[in-house]
């Protein structure tokens, strides 16, 4: 099909899904026949929207919403296990709504029920701003859900600046479907000239509320982010941005040389990021790494905790500090080889505009000073000693010495929240008698 389009393509083609996205170089090219464009995609060339003010070749760091120029493409990404097949989608979709081009991704594998494919809608007119792009994107999602209500899409493509991987036509499960459809822009959208407005869309949703937030990152930080290896980047910025996984506390109590803070008594909020543990093949206990399909959601939740931790420390976390903490999480606890930096920025963006009012977390009753290890106590032993002390103090508040142990046990059970087994009460009476004898 003859057409005159300017499209940004990767300079190099890839036979498999690339892992080092920050090294990908892009170049704007003129396409005069859609078949040529489809052939490039199936040969491994990735593509994206067009951007302002770049040289003939440019890197992924220039691919931002503030640099967005225009595009003639809207792309939807289906990346769900046990989703419908690309053939079923193409067959059941009404002809007038079929994408111009549908192709399976590198990791598409129907035998393992991994349905991974892209839907490419080619427009006759230029889409000149991000809001227009997102309107068209949402329009296609709504249209498709009328036929396939349970279909799930990767929202990263909604940004309008996402790099889209090509594919390899020589893979065993490769499929492609073409139509002669070229689409018009929706006339229900009130266009505003926002070509160069610095707007970024929040791609992770919270309570179905969409907000907009602009990340403030210095030029050097952005350059390092897209050019340095992740390990080198973390080593460089760890001297600037501390990586705390819990808020700082003042340990104002001491019991038998064990310093601690009573969070319940002093009404102090404490947040700590907990880890899941697993057993390796060698039988060693190690922190479990987050699975591929849950990385973005896990990063988002951890980002909320980082933001809350710094608020409790008395100062809001900066955008650069948050991005650094998210990269530390990604590097240490997830497979980061195929996770684009742009996704990290998208998560950071929405974390900063999320409402933390209803953020749920485990609130302990007390916290032991971690430096106790240098005193010969283990944290577990110290915690057990403090817990016993608090238990005795709670019982002392309600224990009626004029009644029997059994009667006190019944009354304490009705109060609730106080350990009241018969053995615990007998231990309390023994300690009470010893204290009285010592005082005499």
| DSSP classification of residue 233 | H
Indicate the pLDDT class of residue 437, thresholds 50, 70 and 90.
Answer: low
Same domain? For 344 and 421 the reply is no
Same domain? For 27 and 149 the reply is yes
The phi, psi pair for 412, rounded to 5°, reads -65, -35
Whether the per-residue pLDDT at 120 is higher than 90: the answer is yes
Same domain? For 277 and 392 the reply is no
pLDDT 10s digits, 142-184: 899 888 888 888 888 888 888 999 999 999 999 999 999 999 9
Among 52, 76, 69, 51, CA closest to 136: 76
Same domain? For 255 and 322 the reply is yes
In a domain, 244, yes or no: yes
Q: Could you list the residue range(s) of the whole structural domain that residue 245 is in?
A: 219-352
Coil vs helix vs strand at 85: coil
pLDDT 10s digits, 353-367: 888 887 877 777 777
Q: How far, rounded to the nearest angstrom, does the alpha carbon of residue 39 sit from its chain's CA centroid?
A: 34
Give just the sign of the alpha carbon dihedral 32, 33, 37, 40: negative
Instruction: Give 283-291's long-range contacts (Cβ < 8 A, gap of 24+).
Output: 287/333, 289/333, 289/334, 289/335, 290/333, 290/334
In a domain, 171, yes or no: yes
Sequence-distant (≥ 6) Cβ neighbours of residue 192 within 8 angstroms: 129, 131
Give just the sign of the alpha carbon dihedral 35, 2, 95, 161: positive
In a domain, 362, yes or no: no
Same domain? For 232 and 122 the reply is no
Indicate the pLDDT class of residue 243, thresholds 50, 70 and 90.
Answer: confident
Which pLDDT value is given to residue 41?
Answer: 95
Whether the per-residue pLDDT at 282 is higher than 50: the answer is yes
Q: Could you tell me how many helices (H) and strands (E) the chain has, helices first?
A: 12, 14
Same domain? For 280 and 342 the reply is yes
Coil vs helix vs strand at 294: helix
Among 303, 310, 319, 116, CA closest to 204: 303
Among residues 155, 178, 201, the one where a domain terminates is: 178
Whether the per-residue pLDDT at 137 is higher than 80: the answer is yes
* Distance of alpha carbon 91 from alpha carbon 98, whole angstroms: 9
Pick the more confident residue, 261 or 323: 323
Same domain? For 20 and 167 the reply is yes
In a domain, 196, yes or no: no
Which pLDDT value is given to residue 206?
Answer: 42
Which pLDDT value is given to residue 196?
Answer: 32
Same domain? For 47 and 121 the reply is yes
The phi, psi pair for 272, rounded to 5°, reads -135, 135
Whether the per-residue pLDDT at 26 is higher than 80: the answer is yes
Same domain? For 384 and 295 the reply is no
In a domain, 202, yes or no: no
First to last CA, the chain: 102
In a domain, 261, yes or no: yes
Q: Based on the structure, what is the number of domains in the chain?
A: 3
Whether the per-residue pLDDT at 209 is higher than 70: the answer is no
Same domain? For 48 and 155 the reply is yes
Contact between residue 16 and residue 165 where contact means Cβ atoms under 8 Å apart: no
Same domain? For 161 and 233 the reply is no
Whether the per-residue pLDDT at 384 is higher than 70: the answer is yes
* Distance of alpha carbon 207 from alpha carbon 37, whole angstroms: 39
In a domain, 189, yes or no: no
Among residues 304, 322, 352, the one where a domain terminates is: 352
Which pLDDT value is given to residue 212?
Answer: 58
Q: Which of 102-106, 164-168, 236-240, 250-254 has the lowest mean pLDDT?
A: 250-254
Same domain? For 22 and 171 the reply is yes
In a domain, 142, yes or no: yes
Whether the per-residue pLDDT at 398 is higher than 70: the answer is yes
* Distance of alpha carbon 88 from alpha carbon 342, whole angstroms: 31
Helical segments of 228-368, H only: 230-237, 263-266, 295-312, 319-333, 341-352
Average pLDDT over residues 239-266: 79
* Distance of alpha carbon 60 from alpha carbon 438, whole angstroms: 74
Whether the per-residue pLDDT at 43 is higher than 90: the answer is yes
Whether the per-residue pLDDT at 235 is higher than 60: the answer is yes
Q: Which of 29-43, 54-68, 76-90, 317-331 has the lowest mean pLDDT?
A: 54-68
């Amino acid at each position: 099909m003859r057409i005159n389009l300017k499209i940004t393509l990767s300079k190099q083609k890839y036979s498999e899904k690339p892992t080092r996205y920050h090294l990908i170089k892009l170049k704007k090219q003129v396409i005069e026949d859609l078949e040529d464009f489809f052939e490039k995609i199936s040969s491994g060339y990735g593509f994206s929207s067009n951007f302002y003010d770049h040289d003939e070749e440019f890197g992924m760091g220039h691919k931002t919403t503030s640099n967005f120029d225009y595009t003639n493409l809207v792309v939807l990404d289906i990346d769900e296990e046990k989703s419908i097949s690309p053939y079923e989608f193409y067959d059941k979709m009404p002809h007038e709504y079929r994408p111009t081009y549908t192709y399976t991704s590198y990791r598409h594998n129907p035998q393992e029920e991994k349905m991974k494919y892209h839907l490419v809608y080619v427009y006759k007119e230029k889409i000149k701003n991000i809001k227009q792009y997102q309107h068209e994107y949402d329009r296609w999602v709504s249209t498709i859900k009328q036929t396939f209500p349970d279909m799930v899409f990767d929202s990263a493509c909604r940004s309008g600046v996402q790099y889209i991987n090509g594919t390899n036509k020589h893979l065993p499960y490769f499929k492609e479907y073409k139509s002669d459809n070229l689409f018009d822009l929706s006339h229900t959208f009130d266009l505003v000239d926002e070509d160069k407005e610095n707007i970024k869309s929040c791609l992770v949703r919270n309570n179905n509320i969409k907000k907009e937030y602009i990340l403030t990152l210095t030029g050097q930080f952005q350059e390092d982010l897209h050019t340095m290896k992740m390990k080198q980047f973390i080593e460089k910025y760890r001297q600037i941005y501390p990586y705390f996984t819990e808020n700082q506390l003042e340990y104002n109590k001491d019991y038998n040389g064990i310093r601690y803070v009573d969070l319940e008594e002093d009404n102090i909020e404490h947040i700590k990021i907990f880890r899941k543990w697993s057993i390796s093949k060698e039988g060693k206990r190690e922190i479990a790494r987050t699975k591929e399909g849950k990385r973005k959601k896990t990063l988002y939740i951890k980002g909320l905790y980082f933001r809350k931790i710094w608020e409790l420390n008395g100062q809001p976390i900066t955008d650069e500090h948050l991005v650094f903490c998210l990269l530390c999480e990604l590097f240490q606890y997830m497979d980061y080889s195929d996770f684009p930096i742009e996704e990290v920025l998208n998560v950071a963006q929405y974390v900063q505009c999320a409402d933390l009012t209803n953020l749920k977390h485990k609130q302990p009753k007390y916290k032991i000073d971690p430096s106790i290890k240098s005193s010969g106590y283990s944290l577990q032993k110290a915690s057990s000693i403090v817990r016993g002390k608090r238990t005795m103090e709670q019982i002392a508040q309600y224990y009626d010495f004029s009644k029997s142990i059994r009667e006190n046990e019944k009354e304490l059970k009705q109060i609730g929240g106080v350990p009241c087994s018969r053995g615990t009460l007998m231990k309390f009476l023994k300690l009470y008698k010893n204290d009285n004898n010592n005082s005499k």
